[in-house]
Amino acid sequence: MAVYTKKIKINTRERIEFVNITDEIRKAVRESGVQDGIVLINPMHITASVFINDNESGLLKDFKIWLEKLAPKEFDYNHHKTGEGNGFAHLWRTIMGRECTVSISNFELDFGPWEEIFYGEFDGQRDKIILIKVLGE
């Protein structure tokens, strides 16, 4: 079994941003030489998420609105008593998920229609790392 690891650095222009990373993941799968297996994508940070959904601008705006309703940015979270000001970002990450895994067949990501991979940044504008781990044969 082959194991391939790649880390990519990301630094978003906005504090809250969704970035389509599908092409980066496809590139890592090709580099790995894995024909049949899985790829794990992990944002390696507690205020970021990786998830799969449709690359449609209205939907991405809807995610921000929905998350704001569930865990508003302007709220007096207990977490803020520690000197932090990003309590909402931790909750958003929990809602959107930590990481995702995608099956690989014939050197390609096994996707359904419209599926793409996104990095969700909820407390950005600084360097962060995305881990890509490809396993298979």
Q: State the pLDDT at residue 26.
A: 98
Q: State the pLDDT at residue 121.
A: 98
Q: State the pLDDT at residue 33.
A: 98
Tell me the mean pLDDT per 10 residues along the chain, length 137: 97 97 98 98 97 97 98 97 96 97 98 97 97 98
Q: State the pLDDT at residue 93.
A: 98
How many other CB atoms are found less than 10 A from the CB of residue 126?
11
How many other CB atoms are found less than 10 A from the CB of residue 117?
24
* Inter-residue contact 19 to 128 (CB < 8 Å): no
Task: Count Cα atoms within 13 angstroms, Cβ side, for 20.
Answer: 11
Looking at the domain 2-136, which fold is it?
Jelly Rolls (2.60.120)
Q: Looking at the chain, which runs of residues are DSSP E strands?
A: 2-10, 17-20, 36-42, 48-54, 100-105, 108-109, 115-121, 128-136
